[in-house]
Structure 1
Amino acid sequence: MKKISTKIATFILIGIIISACDAVKRVPEGKRLLTKNEILVNNKTTKDDEVINQLYQKPNSTLLGYRLRLNLFNLANPNPDSSYQAKFTNHPGKYERMSKLLSAKQVDRLGQSFWYHGIHDFLKKTGEPPVIVDTARTHKSVLRLKYYYFNNGFFNVKANYKLDSLSKKKARIKYTITTGNPYLLDSLTTTIHTPVLDSMYKTRISNTFIKSGKQYQTKDFDSEKDRINTYFRNNGVYNFQPNYVTFDLDTLNSNKKVNVNLIINDYSYQDNDTTRTKPFKIFKISDVNIYTDYSAANNSLKITDSTSYNNFNLYSHSKLKYKPKAITDAVFITKGNLFADSKTVLTTRYLNNLKIFNYPTILYELDKRDTTAQSLIAKVYLSPRKKYSLGTTLDVTHSNIQNIGIAGSISQTIRNVFNGAETLEIAGRGNIGSSKDLANPQSKFFNVSEYGVDVKLNIPRIWFPLATEKIIPKSMIPSTLLSSGLATQKNIGLDKKNLTGSLAYNWTPKRNNTARFDLLNVQYVRNLNPENYFNIYRSSYTALNDIGKAYNTDHPEYANNHPDYVDRDTDNLIIEKGTAGFTNDVLSGTTTLTPADAEYKTVSSVEERRVRLTENDFILATSYSFTRTTKTDLQDNTFYLFRTKIESAGSILSLVSNAASLPKNHNGNYEIFNLEYSEYIKTEFDYIKHWDLTKEKVLAFRSFFGIAIPYGNSNNIPFSRSYFAGGSNDNRAWQPYRLGPGSTGAVNDYNEANLKIALSAEFRFKILGSMKGALFADAGNIWNVFDNITDERATFNGLKDLKEIALGTGFGLRYDLSFFVVRFDLGFKTFNPANEINKRWFNEYNFANSVFNFGINYPF
């Protein structure tokens, strides 16, 4: 019966697909479905997206050549209400019978249910109606193509189209374009009526977009207008606008040349009913007035408090609440300088960045005290935000450790806390989550938790005892961030307390560039349950226990002398007394194992890892990071992003320890607070590039390189500063921490190292509505280098080890919810360096060994 049901369901599904595949099902009689556009330019087919985008009509979208959205639309019933009513019209008495069973109101409401009505609305909305050939739109496409080529210098362009009927209800359109030879720019002359503007233009004529010998392009003339307008308005020409720039083009000669005359007329203005003209003037700023508590309600009230500071005038309707320097440092419009649009924009950005005011308003008015009418008064209107504000957040999160988490926080923000435009934020946060990677003997779903408190003070300038204006001028919008935090977390079973503190400086060297310098970044990590190590890191326990069992069997006298080491029911080493006792005996030479024995080396390796992962860490680091991006907004799909960071830890402490001749401990290392501090240097490079392939197709690429080198007081890198591989934002064919190091095959429970290489590429495309798909390839691995790990399989010893780069490929789905993207990826191990050499390619390329990833937003 089960097999018959399966067959019936299969036949029904095939029938639905076949019926939907009738592409012309919804094409009216006498109309044709547009199946293809072909554009021939000078008898050659073009695939130029810019040219194709000129067309007003394009065929229905496809997915791998299949018109999925069109066929979904065809599945929908165009008149579900009529079809529902027809059920009762064709079967008299059925309505009465159903009304007795349900009620008349419920029967009527059933017609609006998802099954009878909603599913068809969904198919229509998700699907795509057939694109019907429209000759009017085709004519408009021809005109638009001619206009496009005309704007690119082909003044004698000819365009036409031909409609090819492929069947009764299908057709394609062939556009034919003959461009002729393009026109080139020849001579450039100028007619600038205002002498001062003529002189200014000539000083920057080398930057012009209009140059002799260049092919005519309309966009170059628009760019030249913008260039002239920007230059003039940033050099005092307050009344100038782009429409004052015009071009007289002479194409009467027969040599395909264009002579250009650039014309800039005088300033025109309205005098009663008469339009008059006069030469443009260069304006200077005579006063800068700052109104610190402006609002529509108090605009007409009297100013009661004012002060002057560095040629700035500050006014307030109540007592002035700000230190003058805190406000004037954010204003780049200065008395005595020329009017400049760029200064207005920079001032607006800086004031908005203070986060103590709403978006500022800056106006200019003619200074009537100047008889030459060449002075402006700048008025800066500031509307303060509330001094105190309470904020709350609630987020659903996902990470490489946490499958799902619920995070929340409550914060109190205090603005202008010291009257210097500072912002103080005090926040409490908490998080509970679920992780299948943790030791979870009670099978609790929420087995991860973290709670803590953070304090942040943002100062809108460089807070430093020495002057920094020459190094980081205020035009770079610098700020200082003082922060500290205390958190307690239960994550990988050892549980931790984390105390952090930092003094960091942020600034913007150029537009789209950001820099950050952490002068001091302190982290103290205290493991709360180090005795739980072998319960969590089961691979380490198994390796140690196997040796312990074998040794106890071969040396019964040893087992008899240490009865409290072993569980007599299982012969397993008891955690913590047995594991610690046996390890100490081996390494102290109490047993017969010697350093030359493989078992001794394994015990030593297990102990080294246990000590490293359970010891408390103290890190005092200094770092510099730089980011550059060309991304303009969230919709920008053609951009690149480059990040780099260099971090040094422990060097200051070692310098002080050496200078003070402080004693070293038994390991030959310095200590602070009875704790060996970490010393290393770390650097990272991250590059992301996106290409917009049009039609909502995007190719994304990412490369990452990071290395952390221990030295001096350390021979390894703290766990919190090391690298791991695998997971939803890394190589998606492996679980987090389950790839590497090198070709070891992830023998430990949480595998990490201090060198990482990662490369990823992803092709993203639209499937249905907000549903998008992706094909991806992830490559990379981690290795140990310059530390105390000696395993050849885990260490990077030269370029030959690049053959251990793992490759994962797969596909995924993304659903765009506007405020974030939900992501599902399925990764397959394509090349696994942990396998034998002849079994590395496609040996585990199957669903059984695939990895399913859930993520929030795109991986890069």
Structure 2
Amino acid sequence: MKTRGLISTLPILLLALVLSCSVKKYIPEGEFLYTGAKLEVNTEEKTQGLDEIKEELEDLLRPKPNKKFLGMYVKLWAHYKGSQDSAGFVNRFLNKKIGEEPVYFSQVDPSRTEELIVNRLENRGFFYSMSNSEVTRKKQYAHVNYTANISVPYRLSELIVERDSMEIDREIIDMMQETLLDSGSRFDLNTLNAERVRIDSTLKVKGYYNFNNDFLIFEADTNISDSLRLFKLYLRLKKNVPTNGIIPYTIDTINVFPNYSIDEDGEKLDTTVVDDKNFIQGNLVFKPKLLNEYILIENGQRYDPKLSRLSSNRLSSIGNYKFVNLRYEELANSDSLGHLKANFYLSPMTKRSVRAELLAVSKSNNFAGPALNIVYRNRNLFKGGETLNVTAQVGYEFQVAGGADRKGLQSLQLGLGADLIIPRVIFFVPVNEKFSYSVPKTKIGIGTEYLSRGGLYTLNSLSTNFGYLWNANQYAYHEINPISLNVVNLSNTSPEFDQILADNPFLQRSFEQNFIAGINYTFHYNKLNDRFRTHAYFLGLGLDFAGNTIHLIDQISKKDDGKFLGLEYAQYGKIDLDLRYHFNIDKDQTIATRLFAGMGMPFGNSQSLPYIKQYFSGGPNSVRAFRIRSIGPGTYRPDDFDVNSYFDQTGDIRFEGNIEYRFPIVSLLKGALFMDAGNIWLINENEALPGGKFTSSWWDELAVGTGVGLRVDIQFFVIRFDLATPIRIPYLPEGERWSNSFDFGSKSWRKENLIFNFAIGYPF
């Protein structure tokens, strides 16, 4: 079907939908469909925070009317049609999935709503306010208009704390220096409750283990002056508060069970004392001296819920324990203080595990094949929380389509790597870290990879790194690798690939940089995981610098031949910025956006970035309407699109933007509508890639695509299918880059313009 034909029939389809979604004929006789309410607010004087107050009052206008879409009661219509005795399968299905029960005026109680409005205003300090309503009925619909007349608010003249001779009274008086209740502030029940919570939290930190904010009471005296609208506020403890609720507690005993199990035989347990903490275990499972470093509470300290929570977080962050439970027991004592025993019950995870993943890989450039990943994990390797991960990878790909010139193309990839993660800082000198939220970890990694690109070349690489990673809080993650080494060896090159390198000196230089030595840093600030947050965001920052230390040594030694241990080394700086914002309309609907910007700058010993560090664009996690590695750089287009062209389609700069609307379809099946835009560019001019250099008109060289997607969302596992088409092609002549026809009926058009992507997980 041509786009022109679709556009011409669109008004007819919309008219048919409008006519079909009329619900008036379904409204029972004697009933009125409730269409909602409006609220008018009148004040005697300028009121601070009036918009917030009005929004709070509007939330009281219940019930909420039936929802509309483009002015139509689509969900209500689906309910009416699907509830009929003669309803067919389609109407019953629509009613089950999107149907909405009707809201009639008989369910509305305006007088009750008026009372709620007045009550809410009194809670906000607007005593003697008034509210009224007016009902409008028209045909079979009813609407309510509410009016709230807000009085002059009462304001605080004096705050008085009633005191006794107890220690807790002195503590509360000291806390009132930072009170939320300032002189002249409006009476507000929410503020009073917040003040009680603040006092409760502060007292808990000072050791008041059994205190509760319900022990506090505020009493307001408004009999000062009716004309001035002032009130005095009295704060005191309630009568008959239990004694153990108003005394501070200290920690007298700390027991730690590093290998806790309900089946554990108590007679076989031994106790080791470190810093007045009792580590109780049978066979040695975790070295007490090391485990002691994760616990922030100490004997003789007053109870502190913050230190208790952070101690549990730190123990959990080791990565060896399935459950970490801290339980306090009150100890009997005759003095004026309370006494506690802290028990840490730590339940270890399975020490050794093996996970195997058999994957079927399909790429948008028509490569497909099987892959096998095997991961062996050994936890608590040296009885200090260390985790050893050994990973083996095998992957085979072959060209499944693409013409006679691409037959026989294949790729074999083998990989073996190991990471040792140590839950403490390993440095040349002892580091007594006390990161409160979680424990910094030292990571040592080594790996090797073999890649045979069918008949073109063989690439062998060896990498190693040493660094640290930690969570500053539940959202912020840091990782820094002061030592990052990578050695790459290109061999068994074919005459065809040698010619590719000869035609592009920049590409040749990027493959010749066999040694990469540098430092890299990664930072993530992630609030996307909270599905109940309306506005969620993610910030990712990556920094990567290589070759500078070696270059400095070369200059000092006056060698400066661009080689280290006989290998060409790379010198560059690279920065990546990843910004994501999710607007969660409700728990099932999300508008997800992403903006990615990255730039690598070769300098000194290098004219281009190493090939493995360069950017590419297109594919299932990029601009999905273009095949992987098929965009750019800039307006460059290879003479022939074949498997060899993607070597040239990399760059030093990458810029991409994405927007995606995610919505439910049925059960585990989700849908998506998306649009992507982006491209890559070169820092330096490359005659072999005309149009590839970054210029001031970069925005006119963006590739743009749009499409639809299906997701099978099984909790933490998502299988994704995306079908996309380009709507702006950067390598076409200026003025012709926007697509203006979509011939879905043409097989040749579909082959060239419909790109199918299969992937695991959401793209952003």
TM-score tier (shorter): 0.7 to 0.9
Question: Who is 1:782 aligned against?
Answer: 680
Gap change, CA 1:251 and 1:384, over 3 Å in 2: same
Name the aligned partner's letter for residue 258 of structure 2: T
> Which residue in the other structure is 1:30 paired with?
30
Pick aligned residue for 1:305 from 270, 274, 280: 270
Alignment partner of 1:247 is 2:211: no
Tell me the distance in 2 between the aligned counterparts of 1:765 and 1:851: 22
**Distance across 1 between alignment mates of 2:150 and 2:370:** 61
After the TM superposition, which of the residue ranges 707-716 and 384-393 deviates more from structure 2?
384-393
Query: Using a 3 Å threshold, how does the CA distance of structure 1 residues 526 and 124 change in structure 2: closer, same or farther?
Result: farther
The 1:258/1:432 distance shift into structure 2, 3 A limit, reads farther
Instruction: Quote the offset at 1:261 in angstroms.
Output: 2.3
* Residue 328 of structure 1, CA deviation: 0.9
Which of the residues 60, 71, 75 maps onto 2:66?
60
- 1:167 Cα deviation after fit: 2.9
Deviation, 1:226, is 2.4
**Conservation of the 8 A alpha-carbon contact between 1:38 and 1:45:** no
- Structure 2 equivalent of residue 608 of structure 1: 505
- 1:669-702: CA deviations, max 9, x gaps? 2144x43122211122222233456697655443
Residue in 2 aligned with 1:259?
232
Structure 1 position 516, deviation (Å) = 0.9
1:314 lines up with 2:293 in the alignment: no
Answering whether residue 629 of structure 2 is matched by residue 737 of structure 1, we say: yes
Deviations 1:351-395 (A, max 9, x none): 112222222121223344774544322211122223223334466
Q: CA 1:809–1:193 in 2, change beyond 3 Å: closer, same or farther?
A: farther
Q: Which moves more between the two structures, 621-630 or 250-259?
A: 250-259
> Alignment partner for residue 421 of structure 2, among 455, 458, 461?
458
Partner of 1:288: 254
Distance 1:450 1:26 in 2: 65
| Residue in structure 2 matching 1:481, options 434, 443, 450 | 443
Question: Counterpart in 1 of 2:562?
Answer: 669
TM-score (norm 1): 0.73
Once the two structures are TM-superposed, the CA of residue 235 in structure 1 deviates from its matched residue by 2.0
Supply the distance in 2 between the matched residues of 1:435 and 1:183 (Cα, whole angstroms): 78
**Is 1:337 matched with 2:308?**
no
Residue number in structure 2 paired with 1:125: 96
Instruction: Say which SS state the counterpart of residue 684 (structure 1) adopts.
Output: strand
Give the 3 Å change call, closer, same or farther, for CA 454–264 of structure 1 in structure 2: farther
Residue 817 of structure 1: SS of its match in structure 2?
Answer: strand
Give per-residue Cα distances to partners, 1:785-833, cap 9 Å, x unaligned: 2586797833235xx3444452737464565735237464646535x66
1:679 to 556, 560, 571: 571
- The match for 2:548 is 651
For residues 243-291 of structure 1, give each alpha carbon's deviation from its aligned partner in whole angstroms, at most 9, with x where no partner exists. 223222334443344433232358833xxxxxxx478333322232112
Q: Distance in 2 between matches of 1:486 and 1:795?
A: 34
Amino acid corresponding to residue 301 of structure 1 in structure 2: G
Structure number having the greater strand percentage? 2
Partner of 2:614: 722
- SS of the equivalent of 2:296 reads coil
Conserved in 2, the CA contact under 8 Å of 1:192 and 1:263?
yes
Q: 1:67 to 1:497 in 2, by over 3 A?
A: farther
Deviations 1:120-164 (A, max 9, x none): 553222121342315345556555555554544444444454443
1:326 is matched with which residue?
Answer: 290
* 2:31/2:106 contact within 8 Å kept: no
Cα deviations across residues 22-76 of structure 1 (Å, max 9, x unaligned)? Answer: 3246544433334444343349999987655444433333444444434444443
How far apart are residue 624 of structure 1 and its match?
1.6
Q: In the comparison of the two structures, how many residue pairs are matched?
A: 731
Report the counterpart of residue 641 of structure 1 in structure 2.
538
Distance 1:122 1:189, change over 3 A: same
Give the match's secondary structure for 2:266.
Answer: coil
Task: State the distance in 2 between where 1:128 and 1:241 align.
Answer: 45
Letter in 2 for 1:59: P
SS in 2 for 1:268: coil
Distance in 2 of aligned mates of 1:146 and 1:649: 67
2:200 counterpart of 1:229: yes
Cα pair distance change 1:151/1:500, threshold 3 Å: farther
Cα deviation, residue 643, structure 1 = 2.0
- AA paired with 2:595? S
- Aligned residue for 2:649? 751
Aligned equivalent of 2:137, options 148, 161, 165: 165
Task: Give 2:176's aligned amino acid.
Answer: I
Alpha-carbon distance in structure 2 between the residues aligned to 1:433 and 1:349: 43
Aligned positions of 1:505-584 closer than 5 A: 505-527=468-490, 530-531=493-494, 579=499
Q: Distance in 1 between matches of 2:588 and 2:126?
A: 30
Q: Output the CA distance in 2 between the equivalents of 1:42 and 1:435.
A: 72
Structure 1 residue 342: deviation in Å? 0.7
Q: What SS class does the counterpart of residue 379 from structure 1 fall into? A: strand
Q: Which amino acid aligns with 2:562?
A: N
Q: Radius of gyration: which is bigger? A: 1
Q: CA RMSD in A?
A: 4.3
User: How many angstroms apart in 2 are the aligned matches of 1:404 and 1:193?
Assistant: 79
Q: Which amino acid aligns with 2:704?
A: G
- 2:723–2:755 contact (8 Å) kept in structure 1: yes
Residue equivalent to 2:352: 388
Give the letter aligned to residue 441 of structure 2: S
Report if aligned partners of 1:20, 1:75 keep a CA contact under 8 Å in 2: no
The alpha carbon displacement at 1:727 in A equals: 4.0
- Where does the alignment leave 5 or more consecutive residues of structure 2 unmatched? 1-5, 44-49, 640-644, 744-748
**Which of structures 1 and 2 has the larger relative contact order (alpha carbons within 8 angstroms, sep 6+)?**
2
Contact 1:71 1:127 in 2 (8 A): no
Q: Counterpart in 1 of 2:21?
A: 21
Q: Aligned match of 1:468 in 421, 427, 431?
A: 431
Deviation at 1:349, TM superposition (A): 1.0
Q: 1:411 to 1:809 in 2, by over 3 A?
A: closer
Residue 15 of structure 1 deviates from its aligned partner by: 11
**2-side partners of 1:386 and 1:155: how far apart?**
63
CA distance in 2 between partners of 1:631 and 1:319 (Å)? 42
Q: Match of 2:536, as an amino acid? A: F
Quick check: 1:735–1:851 contact (8 Å CA) kept in 2? Answer: no
Distance in 2 (alpha carbons) for counterparts of 1:804 and 1:14: 35
How far apart are the structure 2 equivalents of 1:48 and 1:489? Answer: 65
2:262 partner amino acid:
A
616 and 289 in structure 1: CA distance in 2 versus 1, 3 angstrom threshold? same
**Structure 1 residue 192: deviation in Å?**
4.6
- Per-residue CA deviations over 1:535-562 (Å, capped at 9, x if unaligned) read xxxxxxxxxxxxxxxxxxxxxxxxxxxx
Report the residue type matching 1:164 in the other structure: T
Query: Relative to 1, partners in 2 of residues 1:634 and 1:322: Cα closer, same or farther, differing over 3 Å?
Result: same
Report how far residue 331 of structure 1 moved.
1.0
Letter in 2 for 1:477: V
Residue of structure 1 equivalent to 2:3 = none
Measure, in 1, the Cα distance between the counterparts of 2:630 and 2:377: 41
Over residues 580-614 of structure 1, what are the superposed CA-to-partner deviations in whole Å (9 max), with x where a residue is unaligned?
Answer: 8xx9xxxxxxxxxxxxxxxxxxxx6x231552465
Residue 737 and residue 390 in structure 1: after superposition, are their counterparts in 2 closer, same or farther (change >3 A)?
A: closer
* TM-score, normalised by the number of residues in structure 2: 0.82
Mapping of residues 369-388 of structure 1, within 5 Å: 371-388=335-352
Give 1:600's aligned residue.
Answer: none
Structure 2 vs 1, CA of residues 447 and 632 (structure 1 numbering), >3 Å: closer, same or farther?
Answer: same
Match runs of 1:692-707 below 5 Å:
692=584, 698-707=590-599
Greater Cα offset, 618-627 or 175-184: 175-184
What is the CA distance between 1:503 and its match in structure 2? 1.9
Amino acid at match of 1:291: F
CA shift digits 1:630-675 (9 cap, x unpaired): 456244331332222221112333345555665x6xxx42144x43
